[in-house]
Structure 1
Amino acid sequence: MFVTGLVLAAESSPQAGVPWQLLPHEGEPLLGSAVGAARGCGFDQLIVTLGSAAAQVRDRVDFDGVRVVESPHADIGSSSIVPALDAVDRRTDGLIILLGDQPGVTPAAVWSLVAEVATPLGISRYDDGPGHPVWFARELFGELRTLRTDDDLWQLAGRHPVTQVDAIGNIPPRLGRGAADANRHVGTMRRRRRAPAGDGPAAPIV
């Protein structure tokens, strides 16, 4: 199976005048940590989306071996997933979507999801709820192209069966743009989820 990793890092949301991608994390920029973690997963292809802060981020983050896709309008409601799909290798069977401010996602979580997913859409189920990584099979790429924002991808969870695959521990914390929104997203997920634990429709947090 050919698997593409897609790290979403296009929204800017600067903190104290610094793009969240460049916030310090364990001696390097936050996005650098997330990209390093994604490299460690051993994807057949790795893509990262960048937004209006792309020039600053490129100067500070090592993207060796990574396909970078710029989506400068992501801050005003344009999905960075749509242009990223144009860069996906034609051999790809599916996408693993990761977040650029969540470097704590492990290769074990990624490959457990790939190995056990039984539907075109799969999510990881941690002790405290569903979260990333998320799997989208190629057959859903057409629907991904209709998204207006990256957050809209969760609308697909209400249209298709979803496999939830167990991941160890709690959801890895979001350390950048997602930190301030974490409680809001958890609340949204809990209101929208319809299925009990196990396979079935779900609306995971973003």
Structure 2
Amino acid sequence: MNDSSPAHTVGVLLAGGAGTRLGLGPKALLPYRGRTLVEVLAKTLLDGGCSEVVVVLGAGAGDVRRAADLGGYLVVDNPEWASGMASSFRTGVAAATHGHNVMVALVDQPGVTPAVVARLLAAHQAGRVTAAGYAEAPFEGGHTTKLRRGHPLIIDAGLRAEVAESAVGDAGARRFFKAHPGLVEVVDCSDLTDGADVDTKDKLHLLGD
């Protein structure tokens, strides 16, 4: 079995942000489907086919550990969470089992489902990065010509160190993608979700179901 198979992909859930723009505390603890958002998203990665899940906490880590049932996952703290998402990204990648691919997901994307995770795992090719793509706003007539690259995304085992090293501030892997566009495969997931995140109060409706 090679490292590109679903059984060798570790989910890394970035849940360290303070949710400053939302103003409701750490987004990991937002209520969703009778549980906390961090619990639902971690289970989504597992149910979709990741072999294990690493949850990266930061802001309010103690509160999240007490309030959320994360016993089935490897939970790690990022003491540098305030420096931006990249530090949580590096923390999660470093904690994932060595030699395995990693699927990086964001805790504030409630629309991500096991079907999205499974589609990305099935599409991934060794030596590449596989990212979920979401349709840009459609033109009149319902047609769109462009996909917006988003999360979750799979980083192949052989690229983990280089991608993590390139991550700075809130840019995550963006610098790596810009430098190596030929290594990135964008998989259309628009029929499954729009990839929206809960960043501001006008997006709280995404948690309504």
What is the identity, as a one-letter code, of the residue corresponding to 1:10?
G
Counterpart Cα distance in 2 of 1:155 and 1:87: 22
1:145 has 2:189 as partner:
no
Q: CA, structure 1 residues 154+117, in 2 after alignment: closer, same or farther (shift >3 Å)?
A: same
What is the identity, as a one-letter code, of the residue corresponding to 2:14?
L
Runs of 4+ in 1 over 3 A off after TM superposition: 14-17
Which of 20, 24, 39 does residue 27 from structure 2 map onto?
A: 20
Per-residue CA deviations over 1:5-42 (Å, capped at 9, x if unaligned) read 11111111244452222122222222222223223223
Unmatched 5+ stretches in structure 2: 137-147, 204-209
Per-residue CA deviations over 1:47-69 (Å, capped at 9, x if unaligned) read 01000310000111111220111
What is the identity, as a one-letter code, of the residue corresponding to 2:19?
S
Contact 2:46 2:52 in 1 (8 A): no
Per-residue CA deviations over 1:166-198 (Å, capped at 9, x if unaligned) read 2124423212xx347x9xxxxxxxxxxxxxxxx
Counterpart Cα distance in 1 of 2:75 and 2:151: 20
TM-score w.r.t. structure 2 length?
Answer: 0.75
Pairs within 5 Å for 1:108-187? 108-118=115-125, 120-128=128-136, 129-146=148-165, 147-160=167-180, 161=182, 162-167=184-189, 168-175=191-198, 178-179=199-200
RMSD: 2.3
Q: Secondary structure at the match of 1:152?
A: coil
Unmatched 5+ stretches in structure 1: 183-206
Q: Secondary structure at the match of 1:33?
A: helix
How far does residue 164 in structure 1 lie from its aligned partner after superposition?
A: 1.4
Counterpart Cα distance in 1 of 2:53 and 2:44: 11
1:7 has 2:7 as partner:
no
TM-score w.r.t. structure 1 length?
Answer: 0.76
Per-residue CA deviations over 1:55-103 (Å, capped at 9, x if unaligned) read 00011111122011110211133611222223211241x1111111113
Larger RCO: 1 or 2 (CA < 8 Å, sep 6+): 2
Q: When the two structures are aligned, how many residues end up with a matched partner?
A: 179
Which of 7, 24, 32 does residue 39 from structure 2 map onto?
A: 32
Percent identity among equivalent residues? 27
Corresponding residue of 2:88: 80
